[in-house]
Amino acid sequence: MRLALAEAGRAAAGGDVPVGAVVLAPDGRTVLSAGHNEREATGDPTAHAEVLAIRRAAGELGEWRLSGCTLVVTLEPCTMCAGALVQSRVDRVVYGARDDKAGAAGSLWDVVRDRRLNHRPEVIEGVLADDCARLLTDFFRDR
């Protein structure tokens, strides 16, 4: 999560909402990719940290299926990102701060564990939650 927090700091430095993500290989230690929000920098509404990290991990592996991989992200994924996590077949999602307004991994919705879908990653929430939430709170307070 500390690596994801560092990525989130890069997003804030670029004027974007400070969310960062990393994808870990099946061994749980090797970082395949990292990403941070780049919507403002690129003008791309899909440039969320999770989507960018998933794309980069798939490129690194040469495979769209991220079976065995873990995505670590500072903020609970939104519906778009939750859908991308299901589609990419990640095994595990670890997130820091809950997003009660737009979260789709257990708070507002639970897309990633919807029994109607063909893949349901494990979800671990609240890792360094206070640190992750503080980064977001400080960012929006300064705006």
Q: Catalytic: which of 7, 38, 40, 50?
A: 50
Tally the C-alpha atoms within 13 A of residue 17's C-alpha that lie toward its C-beta.
Answer: 13
Indicate left, alpha or beta for 30 from its phi (over 0: left) and psi (-120 to 50: alpha): beta
What are the C-alpha distances in Å from 35 to residues 4, 7, 10, 54, 101?
8, 6, 9, 8, 22
| 60 included as an active-site residue | no
- Flag whether 132 is marked binding: no
Asked if residue 75 lies in contact with residue 100, where contact means CB atoms within 8 angstroms, the answer is: no
| Residues identified as active-site | 50
Known binding positions for Zn(2+): 48, 78, 81
Known binding positions: 48, 78, 81
